[in-house]
Amino acid sequence: MAAAITAVQQQNRFARRVNMQVASHTASMDPILAELRSALAGLAPKLPVIPLLSTVTDTGTPRLDADYWVANVRQPVRLSQAVAAAGQDHTTFVEISPTRC
């Protein structure tokens, strides 16, 4: 990992190790998915008032319900697809994440 980060940084690009304690977006999350879906079952999301491109799905504006968040925890992150879609109309991006860097 260190060698990959160094190689990217030598190209004057941003790279850093993300310090995570669990392997989200993998099968290791499967044991908690039913409990998570149940805990979030009461969500009553409203449609966003600003454009929202998801790294979970590419089917337009997602419905941010329990199923969405379960998929968010379990499915691969589709960052390149989301950025490519956003790049068609925009040049500045903001990532919002609960992880402290």
**pLDDT at site 98:** 67
Number of domains in the chain: 1
Q: How far is 69 from 32, CA to CA, in rounded Å?
A: 12
Question: Does residue 54 form part of some domain?
Answer: yes
Q: For residue 66, is it within any domain?
A: yes
Predicted TM-score of the model (pTM): 0.69
Summarize pLDDT for 29-80 with one digit per residue, the tens.
999 999 999 999 999 999 888 888 888 987 778 889 999 999 999 999 888 8
Domain contains 12: no
Mean pLDDT value of segment 82-95: 80
Nearest Cα to Cα of residue 37 among 65, 59, 75, 76: 65
Domain interval for residue 76: 23-101
